A = this chain, B = another copy of it.
Amino acid sequence: MNLLVVGSVAYDSVQTAHGSVDRALGGSATFFALASSLWARTHIVAVVGDDFRQSDLDRLRQRGVDVSGISQVPGQTFRWGGVYSPHFETRTTLFTELNVFASFNPQIGSVGAAADCVFLANIHPDLQLSVLDQCHRPRFVALDTMNFWISGERPSLERVLRRVDCVFVNDEEAYALSGVANLSLAARRIHAMGPRTVIIKRGEHGAVLFHDGKAQQMPAVILDDVVDPTGAGDSFAGGFMGYVASQPRVDTRVLQTAVVVGTLTASYAVQGFSVDRLETLTIEDLAARHDLLTANLLPSSVDWPSIRSQNRPLAVGVA
């Protein structure tokens, strides 16, 4: 099934404890599509400048991404520069040059309109709404957002939330969006705003799927070698949405597996700068890491009956 992503295609300059890259391929739609294209034909709608390298379009095409919706216009491509603290707890933006992205007005065309699944990356909620207005009843729509829109464009954001199936946010965004400080309560309030599925991205701590009245946790992989966390969230969303788009139906089981796929995808993405690791990712890689992760989860099978029988209440005044 076809998948549409509307977001940014950018050039990033990134410094981490492991090195730096300049004008490296980035942007939400780029990370997303390179992750999702492992599972489903992915159509990007984005805008780039006349400085955008043909070789970067080729890299996307090599992975089967449909780049026909990337329009090239006069001017510079969106650029972002940032530096991560040594332990990756904080990220400081050095510059954001919107360039041609400043006047991005997504036209999704007939291919985009026919998409089965749609991911609205982190752009102005009015643009997200405009995309939805152009779609022909997609069966699954998800969006990403951030505090800038949550605080600054709430009415628009609430309008688009009513029309999506799924939202991806981190803990802080969930609190800001819901106005409550507890994750479960926050998810409940966000459900009430529209999305039946709420996914909390917790970076190195994994993810939580709130769906169908349950909170389900996905631990993250403990990595020796995080190189560059840029794009981790979009890679997660790409793995998730790609898997969903590859399935005939969207049910609880599919969403659960999609969170597993998204988590594993992001764990690889952060092991290289830019999109380097995503470009060579295989389903075999995901399966291998999933085996490793589950082997290292602490025993789900604790023998409580035998523990109870061996540890009768101590001879004290407790009930």
Residue numbers of A with Cβ under 8 A of B are 17, 37-39, 41, 61-64, 86-88, 175, 181-185, 202, 205-206, 208-209, 214-219, 222-226, 246, 253, 256-257, 259-260, 280, 282-284, 286-287, 290, 294, 296-300, 302, 304, 307-308, 310-311, 313-319
Contact = CB atoms under 8 A, between A and B. Distances in A.
Contacts of A307: 257, 283, 287
Contacts of A17: 181
Contacts of A300: 294, 297, 300
A256 B298 contact: yes
A308 B283 contact: yes
B208 A205 contact: no
Contacts of A215: 222, 296
Nearest to A186: B87
Nearest to A209: B298
Given A183-B222, A215-B222, A297-B297, 20 more contacts: A17-B181, A37-B314, A37-B316, A41-B314, A62-B316, A62-B317, A64-B314, A64-B315, A182-B223, A205-B205, A215-B296, A216-B296, A217-B298, A218-B297, A218-B298, A246-B310, A257-B299, A259-B298, A282-B313, A287-B302
